[in-house]
Amino acid sequence: MNVFDHRHELMPRGELEQLQLERLQALLARLKRHVRRYREKLAGLNVESVADLARLPFTTPEEMAESFPYGFFACPMREIIRLHTTLGPQGKPLVIGHTRNDLSQWGRLAARQLAASGVTANDVIQVCFGGGAYGSAGYLFGAQVLEASVIAEEPAHADYQIAMLRNYRPTVLITTPTMALELAEVIEQRRLDPQSLQLRTVLLSRPVDRETRDRLAAGLSAPVQCNFGLGEILDPGLCVACPAGTFHLHEDQFLAEVQNGELVLTTLCREALPLLRYQTRVACELVQGKCACGRSGVQIVPGPRLDGRLRVKETPFYETQIAEVLAHTRAAGQPFTLKVSERHIVVSLELSEALFADTVWFVENLKRQIESDFLARLNLVAEVRFVNPRSQAVPDETGGPTLSPPETGRPLIQS
């Protein structure tokens, strides 16, 4: 069995709970001392057992967004050596900081995942993210801990990455589901033999359904494993996907609860940004009990987002952000409907009377401008369609501007 940290990953339940209690008490002391927002909330509160966690206050993503950028940091900025941004509630940014200890701990936690996936110092790992994903840092730290060789080269372009796979002969590929699907497609189109690659393992940055996993395993000729993480907590490094496909939480580092179907997490050891009972806005089930792999960490079964967060490829966004982009254009305030497909969004906008009476040239330009705004501001490929609010039908020569069809051949204006 491939276990990186025997002591913590296989720790007996009683010993684990004692360790959790000690760390929870230390966390409370740290929060009261260093984070003003918690000092007020935690006044007079203490814990005698892990079960006392239930009496402590929650932390919401909205509170984190309100205290942007550094309101929840528990150490002075001179101790922070890495910062990154993650998407917060309704598109507001959240800033995550790491101390030197946080980063080295991140590496050890990511190494648990890599070791569980069979990675050793003998492996050559190709890491390919891009397209809006930010999580590759943790995998690089983890690979360094295991002393595996890493190729982390951009661009995230399928032909380029396939050339790397053929030239460097990596044994492990760590990438996003979007990139993995693109690689498998191009390998098939070019009639390359996936078995000629040397891949032993493919590790994906987020969970995918069974069908996609099987398709990728066949297309890349290697077993596929998925990660589950959260940008505000750790991604990767929150849990380990064991060979049984189960996500075991690193319970020596995090406490998990489910409140009204929502995953709630407490960080036990994080220095820069410790979070108490953080409401993740992710639906979840927790399963206790022995797993065939021997790990003691509670099993996380993640469900859908609970806050309306949407995603196209690897880019997450909220509908409120769509309205914000439109607010900066001539179509500001116009009613719209949003459709999300696997590869792009379709925004159907009602044209105002004034815009509707405008020239074809003007309306076509407006469409292109809005589409380019979506790409620039949200990294989303968008197709903008205009609808006539009165007829809700395709306007013709008598009803307004007639536009040439877009490159896809579909009619630009749809009812």
The residues that touch Zn ion, with contacts defined as CB under 5 A, are 242, 244, 246, 291, 293, 295
Sequence-distant (6+) residues with CB within 8 A of 363 are: 351, 355, 386, 401, 403
Beta strands in 237-320 (DSSP E): 239-241, 247-249, 254-259, 262-267, 278-287, 299-305, 310-312, 315-317
Residue among 121, 114, 80, 79 at smallest CA distance from 97? 80
Q: For residues 124 and 291, which CB has a smaller minimum distance to Zn ion in the complex?
A: 291
Least distance (Å) between residue 208 CB and Zn ion: 19
Least distance (Å) between residue 241 CB and Zn ion: 8
Q: For residues 16 and 293, which CB has a smaller minimum distance to Zn ion in the complex?
A: 293
Least distance (Å) between residue 204 CB and Zn ion: 18
Q: For residues 167 and 288, which CB has a smaller minimum distance to Zn ion in the complex?
A: 288
Token pair 């967004």 in the structure block, residue? 65
The DSSP line for 304-327 is: EESS--EEETTEEE-HHHHHHHHH
Residue 176: both structure tokens together: 């996003």
Q: For residues 244 and 357, which CB has a smaller minimum distance to Zn ion in the complex?
A: 244
Least distance (Å) between residue 293 CB and Zn ion: 3
Q: For residues 9 and 182, which CB has a smaller minimum distance to Zn ion in the complex?
A: 9
- Helices of type H across 119-265: 136-146, 158-168, 177-189, 210-220
Q: For residues 129 and 254, which CB has a smaller minimum distance to Zn ion in the complex?
A: 254
Residue 113: both structure tokens together: 């995942």
Least distance (Å) between residue 41 CB and Zn ion: 36
Token pair 């390919």 in the structure block, residue? 128
Least distance (Å) between residue 220 CB and Zn ion: 24
CB-CB contact of 174 with 203 (8 Å): yes
